[in-house]
Amino acid sequence: MPGSGKTAAFVLPMLVYIQHLPPLADENRHLGPFALILAPTRELAQQIENESRKFAGPLGFRCVSIVGGVSAFVLLCRQTFIKLI
């Protein structure tokens, strides 16, 4: 159910924890990232990133989603091709 606060429920405590850590600098950059969220789909990863930015941005934190595989367009084309065979 969108908008029910599921993402905020785990992102806000994570951000509170990160706020108490020393900021990343050249001498401790190897200790980052401070948090990692795993999602089963590209769409969910991007949704979590967008929602997390709303909370993390004002605190000066950066959110980045990294997804593997090929683009959704290529996957859609492959599925359409397979259905035609």
Is 45 part of any domain?
Answer: yes
Range of the domain at 64: 6-84
What per-residue confidence (pLDDT) applies to 45? Answer: 87
Select the more confidently predicted residue: 66 or 55.
Answer: 55
The set of residues, in sequence order, having a beta carbon less than 8 Å from that of 64 and lying 6+ positions away, is 49
Number of domains, the chain: 1
Q: CA-CA distance, 72 to 9, in Å (whole number)?
A: 28
pTM over 0.85: no
d(CA 85, CA 83): 6
Considering the domain boundaries, does residue 1 fall inside one? Answer: no
**Burial group, residue 7, by CB count within 10 angstroms (0-12, 13-18, 19+):** buried
The answer as to whether 40 is a domain residue is yes
- Residue 28 resides in a domain: yes
Higher pLDDT, 51 or 84: 51
pLDDT in tens, 51-63: 999 999 999 888 8
